[in-house]
Structure 1
Amino acid sequence: MTHITGLERSQLLLLPESLDDYVGAENPVRFIEAFVDGLDLAELGFARVESKDTGRPGYAPADLLKLYMYGYLNRVRSSRRLEAETHRNVEVIWLLRHLKPDFKTIADFRRDNRNAFRPVFRQFVLLCKQLDLFGRELLAVDGTRIKAVNNKDRNFTYASLRQFIKLADQKLDDYLQRLDQSDAAERTTGGSRVKNLGEKIAAVRERRERCQKMLVQLERTGEDQISLTDPDSRAMAAHTHVAVGYNVQVAVDTKHKLIVEQQVTNQVLDMGLLTETAKPAKEILGVETIDVVADKGYFKIEDIEACEKAGMAPYVARPQRGPAVKQGLFRKDEFDYDAETDSVICPAGQRLQPYTSSLIRGLKKINYANRAACRDCPLRSRCTDNQFRSVSRLENEAVLDRMAARLAQRPGILDERRASVEHPFGSIKQWMYQGAFLMRGLEKVRAEFSLTALAYNIKRVLNLVPFAELTAAVTALPS
C-alpha cells in the first residue's frame, strides 16, 4: 500500500481554484475584514483615509490595520515579519487581496497612527457590550511591568549617578597619586605604564562628565531617573528583579475576563492608578455603580475615596505594614474606631482619646492615646515597646472603615480578582509573546498595547460567540 501523495506541482488545472476557497467560512480573517470595513477610520483618527488626487497612490489605512490586527492575533508583531507574511501566508494574501507592502510602510503606519489604535480597541469593547458579554457588576484592576527597548545598564537614577561621581572622584585621586609616584620609575621603562594610567584617567573623566550632565538634567526636570535608549521608560521592580519598562494597567470585567479599559504609564507604582483605570471602564459599561477590586499595591486612601465619589465600591486589600507589624505587636486594624465618641477602642477594651493632630498630604491626621490606661495594661508587652501606644487616623479614614466592612461581607472577592485579572496578563505574556515592547516612547508603546489588548479580546470573543452571530453584530455596530 502506497502513502498518500500530493498533486504534481507543474500540473495545470482546467478550473483554477479561487483564493477564497483556501479561507474557511469561520476563519478569523473574515471577522477582521468585516470589523475593519465597518469602522469610520477618519473619525477614529487615522491619517490618509481619503486618497489624494495627485501623486503616487498609497495603501489604504484599512488594509494596513487589517494586517496589524491579524499579526497581533497570531503573535506576529514585527513589521519585517509582517512583510514576510504578505508573501507566504494564504490568510494574509486573502485579507490584503495580494497587496504586499514593504516593512517600512508597515512600520510607518503604526508610528504615524499611534493615537488611533486605542479608539479601535474601544470600538471592539462597544461590540462586546452590544453582545452582552460584560457582567457589568465587578471590575478587577491590576498592573504588570513590560520591558522597554532600554537595557538596565542604560538607565540611571539620581542616587546611582551621585554614587558613580563619588567613586569616579576617588578613582581619579588614586590614579593621579599613582601617576605622581611612578613618574621616575616609568621613565626607565619607556613610559608604557604612565601611558596606560593616562588612558584610564581620560576614560574615567569622560564618563564622569557624562554622568554629571545627566545629573544636572535630572535636577532641572525634577525626575528621579533617566533612560538613554527610551527616555520615557523607567526602572521598575518586577517580581525578584528590576527591569526597565512600562507599567501596563487593565480593568477586566470578571464575567468573561475581557479587558474593558487599558492604559500604559511610566509610573513606577500602582498606587494612585485605581480610579484612573476603573472610572473610564465604568463609563464605557454605562452603569451608575459598580464594584472594583484590586490588590494591596493600589491601597491609597485618596484613590479609594475618589472611587466612591465616582460611583464605584472599591475592594482593595490593606497592606500590613509599619513597626507594629514588624515587631509582631497588635496591628492597627485590631483597634476599633467609635465615630460617635471620636475615640479608638484598643484590644484591652480601653478608649484612646485624640491628643495631637498634624497634616499629611493635605489631610488632617489625628493621633489617639490613653497614657494612664497603657501604664498598667496587662497587654502592653503585646502592644508597644514605648510608654504608651498611639494610633493615628486620617480625617477621611471612614472610607477605609466602609471598605473593611464590605471586604468582611465578601471575603472571597480578592481571590476572584486573582482568577480574573491575571488571566489576560498570562495570555498576553506567555501565549502572545508580549513580554517586551518593540517601539520606543510612551505614545508608541500605548499604541502597541492597544493592539495587544484588542487581539486578546478578539481571541476570547471568537471562543465565546458563534461566528455568524459575531459577524452579524459587526454589521449592526454604529460607525
Structure 2
Amino acid sequence: MEYQKGQDREQLSLYTTCLDDMVPRDNSVRLIDQFVNLLDLREMGFQTIATQGRPPYHPGDLLKLFIYGYMNQMRSSRRLEKECARNLEVIWLLKNLKPDHNTIARFRKENPKAIRKVFRQSVALARNFNLIGGQLIAGDSTKLRAQNSKKNNYNKKKVQRHLEYIEHKLEEHQKEMAKADGDQQQELTKQIEGRKEQKKKYQAIQEQLKSDRSSENPQLSTSDPDSRHQIVRGTITEVCYTAQTTVDAKYKFLIDYKLTNQNDKKAMGMMLRRAKSILRHTGFTALYDKGYHTGSEFSIADQLGIKTLVAIPGIGRKSQAPDPRYNAENFGYNKTNDTYTCPQGNILTSNQSHYKARNYTFKQYKTKACKKCPVRHKCTTSKVNGKVIQRTEFTENIQANARRVTESGQLYKKRQALVEHPYGTIKRQWGFDHIITKKGMKVASADLGLMALAYNLTRLINTGIGLKELLQKAIIGTKTLFLVYIKPQNSMRVIWKIKNLITLNFGLKPDYSYF
C-alpha cells in the first residue's frame, strides 16, 4: 500500500511568500494586532520594561502577546517565551521578536491598572456595536485559588497550636537529654535548636497577627500576603481570592471585574456604583444571589436608584418559631404607630431605644400579653421575655427587595444563566481556576484583568459579526475606543486614510461608494 510521503528534511526550499501571507486574513490574531495598535498605551499608563544593554520592548508588543496567550489558554511567561519561537501566529504578531520570560512576567506584574483600562476599552467597543443592552445585569463572585498553600496560611488559633506543640516537644527533648549521653546528646541538641528556631518563627507570626486590627480574625499568608483562607463550597476551603464580576444580559459581556479577599456580604453596593459609572445611567435591573442579601447594601442600591433583585435566604434555625405561622414575617407592622401585631391580635411595642449591632442599629418590640398567651409554646421558646422582634434600620429596604422578587415573576431565574456563563468559559473551558501570579492583590488583579479582556474579545468574535464586517464597518480610535460610522460629509483625506487602513491591515478593498 502506498502512503503519502513527507518532504525530505534536508531538501532546500525557496519560499516565494512573506510572513504576512502565512496568516489568514480572517484570523483573530489580526484583530488583536489592530486592537492594540490603535490604543494610546502611554495615556493608559503602561510601563516600559527595560532590558540590560538593549533597547526596551514596546508595551504594545507585550500586550499583544498576553492577549493572544490568554485567548489560547496560555498564561505562563515561560510558555509564552517558547511560543515566540515556534508559533507562526505569535511570530507574525510580534514580528519575530523573542522576549524572555522575565521580561514577559514583569510586564504583567507592573501594569495592573493599565490592563484594567484596556479591558474598559473592550467594553466600550462592545457597546458601540450595540452588543451591551445596559437594561439587565447580573453580578456574582467566584473563588480563584492563590499561589499559597493552606500550610502557609496562619491565624491566631493555628499559631497557638504550633507553639503548644513545640513546647510539648521541647519538654520531651529535655527529658531525653537527662538520660542520653555521647552522640545521642549531640543529636538531641540539634533537634532542640531546630525547635527553638521554629518557635521564634511562630512567635514572629503571632506578633504580626496581634498587630493586625483590620478584622476580628486576622490571617497571614506567607507566599501571597493578600490571599485569604475562605470557604469555596460547602465544607471545602482554599487559600484564594474572590473575583467579583458584572455581566450584561444582552450578549453576556463582562462589563466589570474586581478582585478582593472578602466574601460577598459587603460587595453589592460597591459593584453597583461601578456599574452606574460604566453604563452612565441607573435605569437597569441588577440580579444577585442570596450571598449578597445585606441590609446596608440594599440601602446603597435604593440611594443610587437602582432596582435590585436578590434571592431571599432561608430563616436561620435560631430565628424560627416552633410553628412557622408565628415567624416574625407573619407579624404585621404599623408604620404610623410603630407597632407590630401578632397573629393572635396582640400589639408589640418598642421602648424606642436603639441598640447597636456590629454593622447596624435596631429596635426591639415585645408585649406583656406573651405571659398569658395560650399559643406561646408555638410562638417562642423564650421562657423570660416572650416573643421579641428586632427591626433594623434597613428592614424597609429588605422588605422592598422581597416585594420586587415576588413581583418579578420569572425574571430572577435568568441570573444564573447570565452570570455563570463567563465562569464556565474561563474556569471550565480555559482552565483558569487559579491565580498564576503571587506577591499581592494588585499583581493578581492583572491576571484577572487579562482573563476578562480575553473573554470579551472572544465574545466579540463569536457574536456573529464576523471579522471582516467588524473591521470594515468600524475604526478604532487612538485615545478612546469608539465606532466611527463613515459618513458622506467626511473629507476625502479622512476617507483615504480609512480606506488605506482597512486595505493594508486586512486585505479588504472597499470602493469609495461604500463611504
User: Structures share a fold, TM > 0.5?
Assistant: yes
- Quote the Cα distance in structure 2 between the aligned partners of 1:377 and 1:276: 48
Match of 2:245 among 246, 250, 256: 250
Question: Could you say which residue in structure 1 is the equivalent of 2:432?
Answer: 434
Q: Is the 8 A contact 1:296 1:318 kept in 2?
A: yes
Output one character per residue of 1:113-170: Cα deviation in whole Å (capped at 9) or x when no partner: 2321000000111111111111211221111111111111011012211232233334
Note the C-alpha offset of 1:344.
2.2
Output one character per residue of 1:208-255: Cα deviation in whole Å (capped at 9) or x when no partner: 221111111122232501011111111111113221121111011122
Alpha carbons of structure 1 residues 472 and 198: separation in structure 2 relative to 1, 3 Å: same
Residue correspondence of structure 1 range 30-41 to structure 2 within 5 A: 30-41=30-41
- Quote the Cα distance in structure 2 between the aligned partners of 1:65 and 1:126: 18
- Quote the Cα distance in structure 2 between the aligned partners of 1:87 and 1:362: 56
Question: Could you say which residue in structure 2 is the equivalent of 1:404?
Answer: 402
The yes-or-no answer on 1:372 pairing with 2:369 is yes
The yes-or-no answer on 1:260 pairing with 2:294 is no
**One-letter amino acid matched to 2:203:** Q
Alpha carbons of structure 1 residues 78 and 454: separation in structure 2 relative to 1, 3 Å: same
The yes-or-no answer on 1:206 pairing with 2:188 is no
Moved more, 390-399 or 199-208: 199-208
Q: Is the 8 A contact 1:139 1:278 kept in 2?
A: no
Q: Is the 8 A contact 1:141 1:278 kept in 2?
A: no
The yes-or-no answer on 1:389 pairing with 2:384 is no
Residue correspondence of structure 1 range 301-312 to structure 2 within 5 A: 301-312=295-306
Question: Could you say which residue in structure 2 is the equivalent of 1:285?
Answer: 279
Alpha carbons of structure 1 residues 160 and 362: separation in structure 2 relative to 1, 3 Å: closer
SS in 1 for 2:147: coil
Match of 2:330 among 334, 342, 349: 334
- Quote the Cα distance in structure 2 between the aligned partners of 1:111 and 1:468: 34
The yes-or-no answer on 1:345 pairing with 2:344 is no
Moved more, 116-125 or 5-14: 5-14
Q: Is the 8 A contact 1:38 1:475 kept in 2?
A: no
Q: Is the 8 A contact 2:269 2:298 kept in 1?
A: yes
Residue correspondence of structure 1 range 45-444 to structure 2 within 5 A: 45-48=45-48, 56-176=54-174, 178-179=175-176, 183=178, 185-187=179-181, 190=182, 192=184, 194-223=185-214, 224-239=218-233, 240-267=235-262, 269-320=263-314, 321=316, 323-325=318-320, 329=324, 330-355=326-351, 356-361=353-358, 363-373=360-370, 375-378=372-375, 380-387=376-383, 388-440=386-438, 441-444=440-443
Alpha carbons of structure 1 residues 381 and 216: separation in structure 2 relative to 1, 3 Å: same
Q: Is the 8 A contact 2:266 2:294 kept in 1?
A: yes
Question: Could you say which residue in structure 2 is the equivalent of 1:475?
Answer: 475
Alpha carbons of structure 1 residues 191 and 103: separation in structure 2 relative to 1, 3 Å: closer
Output one character per residue of 1:175-228: Cα deviation in whole Å (capped at 9) or x when no partner: 43x337xx3x535xx562x55544443333222221111111122232501011
Alpha carbons of structure 1 residues 382 and 40: separation in structure 2 relative to 1, 3 Å: same
Moved more, 2-11 or 127-136: 2-11
Question: Could you say which residue in structure 2 is the equivalent of 1:461?
Answer: 460
**One-letter amino acid matched to 1:314:** T
SS in 2 for 1:247: strand
- Quote the Cα distance in structure 2 between the aligned partners of 1:9 and 1:336: 87
SS in 2 for 1:277: helix
Note the C-alpha offset of 1:283.
1.6
Note the C-alpha offset of 1:361.
4.1
- Quote the Cα distance in structure 2 between the aligned partners of 1:456 and 1:261: 12
Moved more, 155-164 or 332-341: 332-341
Q: Is the 8 A contact 1:129 1:285 kept in 2?
A: no
Question: Could you say which residue in structure 2 is the equivalent of 1:18?
Answer: 18
Alpha carbons of structure 1 residues 326 and 205: separation in structure 2 relative to 1, 3 Å: farther
Alpha carbons of structure 1 residues 453 and 374: separation in structure 2 relative to 1, 3 Å: farther
Moved more, 17-26 or 467-476: 467-476
Unaligned runs of at least 5 residues, structure 1: none
Alpha carbons of structure 1 residues 351 and 15: separation in structure 2 relative to 1, 3 Å: same
Alpha carbons of structure 1 residues 134 and 333: separation in structure 2 relative to 1, 3 Å: farther
SS in 2 for 1:238: strand
Output one character per residue of 1:21-67: Cα deviation in whole Å (capped at 9) or x when no partner: 33222211011011111111111111239x99x97322211111111
- Quote the Cα distance in structure 2 between the aligned partners of 1:24 and 1:444: 35
Alpha carbons of structure 1 residues 217 and 195: separation in structure 2 relative to 1, 3 Å: same
Note the C-alpha offset of 1:478.
5.7
Q: Is the 8 A contact 1:147 1:437 kept in 2?
A: yes
SS in 1 for 2:112: coil
Moved more, 249-258 or 368-377: 368-377
**One-letter amino acid matched to 1:244:** V
Alpha carbons of structure 1 residues 473 and 363: separation in structure 2 relative to 1, 3 Å: farther
- Quote the Cα distance in structure 2 between the aligned partners of 1:390 and 1:366: 10
Q: What is the aligned length? A: 468
SS in 2 for 1:248: strand
- Quote the Cα distance in structure 2 between the aligned partners of 1:478 and 1:154: 46
Note the C-alpha offset of 1:350.
3.7
SS in 1 for 2:24: coil
- Quote the Cα distance in structure 2 between the aligned partners of 1:47 and 1:257: 32
SS in 1 for 2:242: strand
Q: Is the 8 A contact 1:34 1:474 kept in 2?
A: no
Output one character per residue of 1:72-129: Cα deviation in whole Å (capped at 9) or x when no partner: 0000111111111111111111111222222222122222323210000001111111
Q: Is the 8 A contact 1:261 1:278 kept in 2?
A: no
- Quote the Cα distance in structure 2 between the aligned partners of 1:78 and 1:95: 18
**One-letter amino acid matched to 1:381:** H
Report the TM-score, using the length of structure 2 for normalisation: 0.84
Q: Please provide the CA RMSD for this pair.
A: 2.6
